Amino acid sequence: MRPLPKTVVTVAAAISLAAGPTPAHASSDACTHHWAGPKICVRVEGHSVWVKRLTAEWVNPPADVQSPTAYAWLNGRLQMQKQGHRQGGRIVAFWGPFQHSGTVCVGFAGSKRRACQDVYDNTRV
């Protein structure tokens, strides 16, 4: 096998440097960890303080609960609510996009449990 000419390698390196790093997208999730009772989960998708999608999920709702109101707290203050809906045996609600830095918590009417996740500016060192 013949080695590549230096100009080909140099051009390829210059192209990859010019393109720069691709923006990182992140997601995280957390659930309440109680052995008995409701299990509520939160999922945050986006990059840094830009929340592309916030998901509230009640993993084990009672069978008679069909569409409870879902709530989202930002830094401890109730900021958003919407009707949850069944997806199989779970109840989910979605919000987004929005910008936020701090703690995000979600919960549902009929449950006192909240799942929380921190959202922070990860572009600053």
Domains of the chain: 24-119 (2.60.40)
Token duo for residue 85: 């809906």
pLDDT digits (tens, 9 = 90+) for 49-92: 999 999 999 999 999 999 999 999 999 999 999 999 999 999 99
C-alpha span between 27 and 44 (Å, rounded)? 5
Whole-Å CA distances, 80 to 10, 47, 52, 98: 52, 20, 15, 11
Q: Quote the CA–CA distance of 97 and 22 in Å, as a whole number.
A: 21
Cβ-contact 115, 30 below 8 angstroms: yes
Regarding predicted confidence, which is higher, 4 or 27? 27
C-alpha neighbours within 13 Å on the C-beta side of residue 76: 0
Question: Which residues contact residue 94 at a Cβ distance below 8 angstroms, ignoring those fewer than 6 apart?
Answer: 53, 54, 55, 56
Model pLDDT, residue 125: 54
Model pLDDT, residue 54: 97
- Model pLDDT for residues 9-49, shown as the tens digit of each residue: 333 333 333 333 323 346 678 898 777 788 999 999 998 89
* Alpha helix (H) residue ranges in 20-116: none
For 87-116, what is each residue's pLDDT tens digit?
A: 999 999 999 999 999 999 999 999 999 999
Q: Is the pLDDT of residue 4 over 70?
A: no
